[in-house]
Amino acid sequence: MSEESAPGPKESPSAAPLAGSREAWKKGGRLLSVLLAVNVLLLACTLISGGAFNKVAVYDTDVFALLTTMMLLASLWILFYLLRTVRCPDAVPYRDAHAGPIWLRGGLVLFGICTLVMDVFKTGYYSSFFECQSAIKILHPLTQAVFVIIQTYFLWVSSKDCIHVHLDLTRCGLMFTLTTNLAIWMAAVVDESVHQTHSYDSSHSNASHLRLTPDRESGSSVGGDCSCNTAICQIFQQGYFYLYPFNIEYSLFASTMLYVMWKNVGRLLASSTHGHGHGHTPSRVSLFRETLFAGPILGLMLLVVGLAVFIIYEVQVSGEGGRTQQALVIYYSFNIICLGLMTLVSLSGSVIYRFDRRAMDHHKNPTRTLDVALLVGAALGQYAISYYSLVAVVVGTPRDLLGGLNLAHALLMIAQHTFQNVFIIESLHRGPPGAEPHDTTPKESCHGLTFANLDALHTLPACPPTPRLVGINPVGPQEAMAIILAPRGHWRRRCLKDISLFLLLCNVILWIMPAFGARPHFSNTVEVDFYGYSLWAAIVNICLPFGIFYRMHAVSSLLEVYVLS
């Protein structure tokens, strides 16, 4: 340090001494909380995975006890945090404008409400045979309801905070809450997989298949009068399994918001009101006026057709044996058409960006970095399933119509994930609408405006680097002028908005199908015969939750792309 006489101190000149005095080594504090989270998470992971296997002497009551304890502790920490920030207003000197956008918080509330309904159903289900159950099974959904309410309120009010008191404690608390959410997520995913396997086993009573998790449901309700026989109990049981996807999404949404909060602990921003262009809110009036309508209409058509296909598929597969083949052909055909269109549309979006001259946004933005990492990471799940399908179809012997459809489906799935990710990530890194890269060729763009409308330019105070269309004040002389000035950019923007809406609607239907129980992976016998049931079930049950989360996350990212473009 002394000898090298380094030219540049790292922090921004004004903030450096403050950072130095407040926290000598940020990574150290982060390391501590990560170590805590890793250890708690691994313990939870061990118990949850152990509880899923019938052979292992870990019972689901152990898992429920662990989760209940974790939720109580996390709730206590959240209450402590809320009290402290209320009583000490200068604890949060900065707020990150990128963190916790309204659609993320809205989604959180929506999924939170569904989780509450699920908890009611669960409580009802377990209350039906209270006398022969452990009390923890009823305590668990009640605690979860309390936890969901507290956490949703906490994330609604605090998700933008950059807190500057009790740094290490806050980091550990946030990481612990994050770990709690991930543990709930894991437990829900495992429980759902066990349920799926159970219903698969009861429909395919084929003794040659090795069962990954045999009959936990029936095993737990064994013992005379303790079975779920009443109609209300059956409804509760069916209901809470259909609501699991929302619980899963709620946990993941909360996790991403908590992670961003954790990254923002002790962060110094230049100014809390510093505008970045990204924080602008579009006027409600022009929200849907600026599309070509082709994207939303085509997307809505696909959504409706997809719902019909999904219902037909479910009816035919759960019915008698002979119609499964036909159901699979319909399902795969629809998916191939949908994925093919999405691939083409994503590609054309990327082509449009090749002609777009907006500057890339190089600002540091933890929310965006996390979004990109989640998009790429969650796509791995579907990639893995597709590659395993690919190998099974190519190497396996029977080459029929269904094999061909499966092959096309797997290939298109890979292509669609790749091109959609490229499109979304490039969109998220673009600057605000109409911002040309004025630092490289400011003169040229200025002259371009001059040629387009010379006299309009004179009404401006100075040569504007950015013809801003979506401003805080949409009605005014500047807006009309901007439309005249940049018709080409406007056409591109409309296309991009259409593309993002179309992709959004397609992702919704591709989310609905697997999230609500379509499993062509098992109806189709190619992979099951090739890999054996236990291996293929392990692959699908581990990877598919990531695939489902990818769709959900792509929807929220595409919504952001739509608003920003």
From 103-111, 188-196, 288-296, 432-440, give the range in contact with a second copy by CB under 8 A. 432-440
Per CB under 8 A, does 218 bind a second copy? no
Enter the tokens of residue 98. 């990128």
Q: How far is the CB of 466 from a second copy (least distance, A)?
A: 4
DSSP state letter for 453: -
Distance of CA 102 to the CA centre of its chain: 15
- CB atoms inside a 10 Å sphere around CB 492: 18
Which region among 16-24, 142-150, 302-310, 505-513 touches a second copy (by CB under 8 A)?
16-24
The binding track of 439-458 with respect to a second copy, each residue x by CB under 8 A or -, is xx------------------
Q: Which segment (183-191, 314-322, 431-439, 551-559) binds a second copy by CB under 8 A?
A: 431-439
- Select from 181-189, 463-471, 486-494, 544-552 the region that touches a second copy (CB under 8 A): 463-471
Q: Measured from the CB atom, is 252 or 375 closer to a second copy?
A: 375
* Main-chain phi, psi angles of 360, to 5 degrees: -75, 145
Instruction: Say how far apart CA 490 and CA 292 lie, in whole Å.
Output: 11
Residue reference for tokens 């150290």: 28
Question: Residue 181 and residue 395: Cα distance in Å, rounded?
Answer: 40
- The verdict on 11 binding a second copy (CB under 8 A) reads yes
86, 88, 235, 274: which one binds a second copy (CB under 8 A): 274
Residue 40 CB, nearest distance to a second copy (Å)? 10
Nearer to a second copy, 77 or 533 (CB): 533
Residue of 542, 560, 525 whose CA lies nearest to 104: 560
Give the pair of three-digit tokens for residue 360: 């890339």
Among 10, 289, 354, 458, contact with a second copy (rule: CB under 8 A): 10
Measured in degrees and rounded to the nearest 5, phi and psi for residue 162 equal: -115, 90
To a second copy, the closest distance from the beta carbon of 537 in angstroms equals 13
Q: Does 380 bind a second copy (CB under 8 A)?
A: yes
Among 1, 207, 231, 285, which residue sits at the site for a second copy (rule: CB under 8 A)?
1
Q: Cβ 465 to a second copy, closest distance in Å?
A: 4
Residue from 337, 183, 355 nearest 255 by CA:
183
The identity of residue 399, as a single letter, is R
CB nearer a second copy, residue 6 or residue 207: 6
Residue in the structure block whose two tokens are 């409308």: 453
CB of 137 to a second copy, least distance (A): 19
Q: Examine residue 28 and tell whether it contacts a second copy (CB under 8 A).
A: yes
Binding to a second copy in span 32-71, by CB under 8 A: 34-35, 38-39, 42-43, 45-47, 50, 53, 55-58, 62
Q: Binding segment for a second copy among 26-34, 105-113, 334-342, 489-497 (CB under 8 A)?
A: 26-34
Nearer to a second copy, 296 or 532 (CB): 532
Cα–Cα distance measured from residue 164 to residue 92, given in angstroms and rounded to the nearest whole number: 6
Binding segment toward a second copy, per CB under 8 A, in 118-126, 267-275, 490-498, 555-563: 267-275
> Does the protein bind a second copy through residue 93 (CB under 8 A)?
no
CB of 52 closer than 8 Å to CB of 213: yes
Judged by CB under 8 A, the chain residues 319 through 348 that form the site for a second copy are none
Binding residues among 466-495 for a second copy as defined by CB under 8 A: 466, 468
Closest CA to 555 of 495, 481, 505, 490: 505
User: Residues in contact with a second copy, total (CB under 8 A)?
Assistant: 86
Q: Three-class SS string for 216-231?
A: HHHHHCCCHHHCCCCH
Task: Kindly state the smallest distance separating residue 411's Cβ from a second copy, in Å.
Answer: 11
Which class for 27: exposed (0-12), middle (13-18), buried (19 or more C-beta within 10 A)? exposed
Residue 359 interacts with a second copy (CB under 8 A): yes or no: yes
| Angle 427-428-429 from CA coordinates, rounded to 5° | 90
* 390's tokens: 């690919």
Question: Is there binding between residue 465 and a second copy (CB under 8 A)?
Answer: yes
| Distance (Å) of CA 565 to CA 115, 289, 436, 477, 498 | 33, 13, 13, 22, 10
Q: How far apart are CA 521 and CA 531, in angstroms?
A: 12
351 forms part of the interface with a second copy (CB under 8 A): no
Range in contact with a second copy (rule: CB under 8 A) among 164-172, 299-307, 461-469, 515-523: 461-469
By CB under 8 A, the residues from 507 to 546 that bind a second copy are: 530-532, 535
| Residue from 200, 150, 167 nearest 28 by CA | 167
Only segment of 121-129, 427-435, 476-484, 503-511 that touches a second copy (CB under 8 A): 427-435
CB of 78 to a second copy, least distance (A): 26
106 binds a second copy (CB under 8 A): no
Of the ranges 74-82, 283-291, 314-322, 423-431, which one interacts with a second copy (CB under 8 A)?
423-431
51 vs 112, beta carbon nearer a second copy: 51
| Residue 395 found at the interface with a second copy (CB under 8 A) | yes
Out of 235, 304, 360, 483, point to the residue binding a second copy (CB under 8 A).
Answer: 360
Which is closer to a second copy, CB of 15 or CB of 235?
Answer: 15
User: How far is the C-alpha of 474 from the C-alpha of 481, rounded, in Å?
Assistant: 12
Of 193, 165, 143, the C-alpha closest to 81 is 165
Does residue 268 bind a second copy (CB under 8 A)?
yes
Measured from the Cβ of residue 394, the count of other Cβ atoms closer than 10 Å reads 11
Binding flag, residue 425, a second copy (CB under 8 A) = yes
Q: By C-alpha distance, which of 352, 120, 94 is closest to 236? A: 120
Residues β-bridged to residue 95: 161
Window 278-297: residues binding a second copy (CB under 8 A): none
3-state secondary structure of 360: strand
Helices within 53-135 (DSSP H only): 60-87, 102-128
